[in-house]
Structure 1
């Protein structure tokens, strides 16, 4: 026995010895090569945490003994000398070259080297030091975000952080122009930013109530420099182009410590994409239809009463209109033997004007209580006109139906919402929360509707010519109280009760013009009133330790609901229980590695619109019916996420997987005839629809961190059901419903790499390959697998004399399928030449050419459960813009001596 103990101990000691290494070196004065006695030498791990510490001896020598082989950051410091840092890859004994430190007295003050770690992990927050990522002069926050490892910004301004879509951008923890976060990233100056923080935020309801609903939203918080909190900045930009195009933008903001005032204005005839940032070459530059847009916005934020009251309010006016034309070919599976094809032409025009106001008042009277008041309001007017005609054939042979329609509508709507959330801390570890909210909205619309249907086989024509008056009013009140208590340092719980009321009224009066009287056409009319009340019990249990956190929450709801429709003799009422369970856990493997899991169960409760058998028609060729025998569907969702980040190497890896299973799903059930489609709902008993996905993203710097490389891949799978049957014209016998099982799977992988150093050549290149597999059980001959691949690149070259040339190049190939025998290729290129003027480079003149080879393909394809469609629309892709932009900045981001 002693022999085995001695043998095992010897083996462990041997392994330990082989798993250790020594690091030695010497610290000298650069000026006279004399040793710097007692210099401090530390080794940090990849999480920037101190691992080892020694001091240099009288000869300047130092030695670390028995170090675990790994990657470290070596930092050397000595009073009144520069700070020295060096990454170390230690896998065996290593003797460093002499480390030479320069006296700060002999260094120019402006170039004193300070040890800065560009990326830090603070709990669950990833923090970037903005000064460590160089941007060109007058660059915006959008340009800075593109250079941060793990973050990407699309041409339209959408942000992705470590594989997850960013839903909110905050400036110093507050929303800036809250209705559009893109305004912040496209106008805040990069040189005004101190730090950028990325973290996951709970839903707004969870933060207000303290009840964890399992939802998490990726958030970016931008911390401004202290000197950037006072100043005036903004930009003015204008463009004129071929095809009588124009766009003009204004953004101005004034910061004064706690007070922030912002103003935006835009007018253009290039669509919504032009209203953002025309100063950069846009990839999504196609102009759809004939748009016209004008918008004005203002934002105000300030603190009052010794910072006890914070006010954040913004107003926006928008006037938008468009005219468009579209051609569409549609193929729809209606049975195992029947396929309907439809060719259609449509025209439409619309105009919308709206005023919106949003505000948040945060009151903190003392350390024990606080109150948030939200008030939002909107008022809008709209008008629209549309005309369409389509021609339907069966199995590519028989003519079925011609249909033509025209609709002319005007309407207005308004809404208001106020919510009050009050929190009060009681004794140690206890808190009380009270939430009240009230929302009201109404809309009115008048429509002239003309529909003509001609059936070829029956030689029959049907005409609907009506004037429809619509009135909708919705009122919703909600109240909630909950109590939270801390049991011990790691465990806490909260209990809550919710009481809510809702009252909806929807009225449609349809008058037939041909009847020449005030008699309602009840087939197209409704007078519906929906009343409901909710009583909800909420419970939440949280466990938080240094490494592990677990949250269990449950929401049990009892609903009483009543629906009446005096036009259709409908009087329905029901009472039912509903439950929502959420369990989430998080394991912090280390400061740079994290694993999280989530499970959620809830129910799809049939709505009254799905239950009521009689519903008003909107079209002569489509009838929607309900099913009073519908049962609820059960949803079970699982999610797992793992991510790791290396601060020293600048690498990050994220993997996310989820599966959602729906038992007893509610699906569409259609009866298709030559004259009309009748749709209802039904449960698919004994079957489950589900979807699953697995996605991963890996990022690392290359070539001494000059080039940022990303690779991503994933697989997605969807499984769903629907019922359909085809009714032969004139046949008294109805066929059997057929269950169609659709299965769609896709596998993708993509790479991207970029270099952004604002000198020489900057580039950003991405490429993606996707394989799609589409299956349906009714028409197996249409099952197919096709390939979609494509990429885009952004190139920018900095010439002398402040000339810049930029280019966006896009290519995409969508392979053929069983239905579409030809592939679709998409290629276009946009080019810009610009020059910076003035001493501070604040004025930029440019010329931009879009789709220079006139190769843009306007054809678009889409696939749903039973439909395949291909369409084209009115679109301008080739044009030239001449532009002038002026960036102005007074004090913001500048030091006092600048």
Structure 2
């Protein structure tokens, strides 16, 4: 019986597809007023019986459009929408393959001119610099979240870690009704807000609030997504709680509660785990916090996202986190948003490293093993007050506070051997360090507009005050062998105090020269950064007390960086192209007082010209081109300038160079992006080149016992180029099945001037990484995505003492998702890594397989999960690093195989006018 059923189903499917009619509809749109073409009008076809979307496109610069697809309907409704014009509607008979329409005249909508808002059903609307998607036009599974929705939008790409790009450009900010939702991590929003409460998705160039107020152009290299919530869905509560327990004592828990009441939003979240999850997880492979755009890794294995500390990276980390978000509007003039985060983590890690360092007359080898245990605690609070005094005056106030406390225990054994594997020196280090850091910052911006042509006066002041106190107990033993053997033993305590006070103020006056197209901007910036750094080191006395002051290892600096910068900018913009040229002249004074070594005091004055310029050309509504040039001046750092002899590491003594000059960096970029909404085809390209004069590089000499002394020098001849190409195409097989192909390549090449035992040489490093992935999606049935990435790199040198080297790295991933039977979701990710270049004793290849089964119960309000991590038990992080003068293989502790059972429950009372739906409760 099942066989006959399958045959009947197969024949029925063939019959259904056979009855479909392919069609291609072409036409031209003009304005009935001036007979000019209308660019960026939205043209869409829908079924007459249920208004479901069949196909859509955007008109080009000449007003031409093409609609292609196939349908079993004999008639479809054609709709054309354009801001300021009446919607055009017409029934189109689908009776042949090629349908050519007469020229379509669009009539001006007087109601819209009188500010009467007409609700549009168009799937896509282009409003000046805003791309707007109508959520109703994009069908998703029943319980889809915002991330599921974004994956369906044309030109939008969502990576596994939750990072988003639109037409090849990264999204660095996501707003909800124009306000931030838990900071800048997009996954908090995209993976927790459900699609059903969202009305529209708007995409714009990223702007500051002041830029949006004055109508300035934003950052065209980054995008902002604004999610507008339906008015009837903007009142109620929703959230989710989850927990899981697994083998090897693995666990996770998380909870989130949101209460929306029109302009007032209150959200609370908390979570914890010991599975290296960066924040909050609800049992899925895809984490609630997964964005790695602003990640800073620490040596102990923990890492920081947007200033919040989490576990992860190397080692095993146990973390606990919590947060509160509040947004509100007081009257018509004041908007308030704020958030608070707490993060705590405990990490442990073991690592071993093998390095070969190249010299003009040979090489030497360094082997090390290290252990670390770290506890971290951080608190952060951010607030934003937007005060619109009237239609011409805006005040933005953004205070923030950070508190961090960490305690780390660290030990390392290291040995150095010559080419004959003879031991030349060895060291053993152990330390206990406790840090307490505090930071307060505030940014105030006052913007005053004059008239409606873009004239404004803007004043901004930033202040940043921070302190850091350190207690460091250090025990080291360094043994140098050979003809002059020596042993250095240190048992010391260091008390560190660092204070920093930075202030910057600026004023800008923008003058319109020709209407709202050509502008001239005058500005002036003053900044003063002052820091004090005091490190008091004491050796142990005969009574085992730290009383003997060690002046060689102690410091007491006061450092000031004062800068004055007048600037002038000319900017042109219209519907087709825009250009901007800014010139700045810097007067900078760097001064340092060394209270322990007054003879090392210094004061240096620098002057430099800086230039920023860019040009953007909108080829059509589907493509754009950009080019830019930048001249920047980079001053040396204090530790690079000051002739202080840093002997904290006896095996590598560092001394500054007071004669260093600033680095002048010249860079240029080219970009081209194109996306065809009809064909679902995208092409993205980017090229960046940089050349440096007076680049600052390390200059290291090595003695016969491989003890190093490092200083700094200026060199000319450094350059680098980076480029990327990407192409994507979506093929719609039918109303249920699609195939999406994405291919790309990125690469770089650079030349660096280096020194090897006072011998100057040049090295060239080049890398090319082609990648490809294909996604086959059968709606509500399954999805499969194979990905492959190849990394090829080569290092070449212009001296015979160093050999050219090439490296190869393979990365293959297969992701699958199955959604049948109804209520069951099974996700797998299988990764194969192959690195043939690592040294003996390091794992060259590994298979990594994660899997999750999730089953929805209680009318999709609850989910039971079974998660399997590293099923094949082969997780490894062996890696090879190559620089100008060494090759290093390293490996450290990683999270190993575990299985976890979990349960999650979600609630939602968002509904029409705040009424309670049947799923849960509602708080008043």
TM range (shorter): 0.7 to 0.9
| Distance change >3 Å, CA 87–CA 415, structure 1 → 2 | farther
- Indicate whether 1:589 and 2:619 are aligned: yes
* 2:681 aligned partner: 651
Task: Provide the C-alpha distance between the structure 2 equivalents of 1:291 and 1:196, rounded to a whole number of angstroms.
Answer: 37
8 Å CA contact 1:240–1:246 kept in 2: the answer is yes
* 1:844 aligned partner: 863
8 Å CA contact 1:442–1:471 kept in 2: the answer is yes
| Distance change >3 Å, CA 788–CA 149, structure 1 → 2 | farther
Gap runs ≥5 in structure 2: 1-23, 28-34, 45-61, 69-75, 81-85, 103-118, 293-310, 918-924
1:655-681: per-residue Cα shift (whole Å, max 9, x none)? 111111112321110012325321111
Task: Provide the C-alpha distance between the structure 1 equivalents of 2:282 and 2:90, rounded to a whole number of angstroms.
Answer: 41
Task: Provide the C-alpha distance between the structure 2 equivalents of 1:212 and 1:116, rounded to a whole number of angstroms.
Answer: 28
- Indicate whether 1:662 and 2:661 are aligned: no
* 1:249 aligned partner: 254
SS of match in other structure, 2:834: strand
Task: Provide the C-alpha distance between the structure 2 equivalents of 1:180 and 1:24, rounded to a whole number of angstroms.
Answer: 43
* 2:54 aligned partner: none
* 1:34 aligned partner: none
Task: Provide the C-alpha distance between the structure 2 equivalents of 1:618 and 1:625, rounded to a whole number of angstroms.
Answer: 11
| Distance change >3 Å, CA 328–CA 838, structure 1 → 2 | same
* 1:684 aligned partner: 715
Task: Provide the C-alpha distance between the structure 2 equivalents of 1:758 and 1:372, rounded to a whole number of angstroms.
Answer: 45
- The 5-angstrom pairing of residues 95-494 of structure 1 reads 117-178=122-183, 180-202=185-207, 216-273=221-278, 275-281=280-286, 288-304=314-330, 306-333=331-358, 335-427=359-451, 429=453, 430-457=455-482, 458-489=484-515, 490-494=517-521
Task: Provide the C-alpha distance between the structure 2 equivalents of 1:594 and 1:813, rounded to a whole number of angstroms.
Answer: 39
- Indicate whether 1:769 and 2:793 are aligned: no
CA shift at 1:886, angstroms? Answer: 0.6
SS of match in other structure, 1:786: strand
CA shift at 1:777, angstroms? Answer: 3.5
1:95-152: per-residue Cα shift (whole Å, max 9, x none)? 99xxxxxxxxxxxxxxxxx995544444444333333333323222222223333333
| Distance change >3 Å, CA 142–CA 125, structure 1 → 2 | same
| Distance change >3 Å, CA 632–CA 783, structure 1 → 2 | same
| Distance change >3 Å, CA 403–CA 800, structure 1 → 2 | same
CA shift at 1:634, angstroms? Answer: 1.5
Task: Provide the C-alpha distance between the structure 1 equivalents of 2:216 and 2:203, rounded to a whole number of angstroms.
Answer: 23
SS of match in other structure, 1:273: coil
| Distance change >3 Å, CA 634–CA 247, structure 1 → 2 | same
8 Å CA contact 1:813–1:823 kept in 2: the answer is no
1:39-74: per-residue Cα shift (whole Å, max 9, x none)? xxx9999943689xxxxxxxxxxxxxxx99972479
* 1:732 aligned partner: none
* 2:741 aligned partner: 709
* 1:497 aligned partner: 524
8 Å CA contact 2:126–2:132 kept in 1: the answer is yes
Task: Provide the C-alpha distance between the structure 2 equivalents of 1:212 and 1:498, rounded to a whole number of angstroms.
Answer: 21
CA shift at 1:296, angstroms? Answer: 1.1
Gap runs ≥5 in structure 1: 1-21, 26-41, 52-66, 97-113, 726-736
Task: Provide the C-alpha distance between the structure 1 equivalents of 2:643 and 2:312, rounded to a whole number of angstroms.
Answer: 45
Task: Provide the C-alpha distance between the structure 2 equivalents of 1:146 and 1:86, rounded to a whole number of angstroms.
Answer: 32
Question: 1:71 is matched with which residue: 41, 62, 66?
Answer: 66
CA shift at 1:414, angstroms? Answer: 0.7
Of 267-276 and 323-332, more deviation after overlay is shown by 267-276
Task: Provide the C-alpha distance between the structure 2 equivalents of 1:206 and 1:323, rounded to a whole number of angstroms.
Answer: 45
SS of match in other structure, 2:233: helix
| Distance change >3 Å, CA 46–CA 744, structure 1 → 2 | farther
8 Å CA contact 2:540–2:548 kept in 1: the answer is no
| Distance change >3 Å, CA 365–CA 115, structure 1 → 2 | closer
8 Å CA contact 2:167–2:675 kept in 1: the answer is no
- Indicate whether 1:744 and 2:769 are aligned: no
| Distance change >3 Å, CA 424–CA 204, structure 1 → 2 | closer
CA shift at 1:160, angstroms? Answer: 3.0
- Indicate whether 1:874 and 2:893 are aligned: yes
Of 764-773 and 665-674, more deviation after overlay is shown by 764-773
* 1:883 aligned partner: 902
SS of match in other structure, 2:154: coil
Question: 2:573 is matched with which residue: 544, 554, 557?
Answer: 544
1:750-774: per-residue Cα shift (whole Å, max 9, x none)? 2222245551112233222332222
Of 381-390 and 276-285, more deviation after overlay is shown by 276-285
8 Å CA contact 1:527–1:565 kept in 2: the answer is yes
Task: Provide the C-alpha distance between the structure 2 equivalents of 1:375 and 1:710, rounded to a whole number of angstroms.
Answer: 42
| Distance change >3 Å, CA 452–CA 401, structure 1 → 2 | same
1:628-648: per-residue Cα shift (whole Å, max 9, x none)? 111222111111111111122
TM-score (norm 2): 0.82
| Distance change >3 Å, CA 723–CA 94, structure 1 → 2 | same
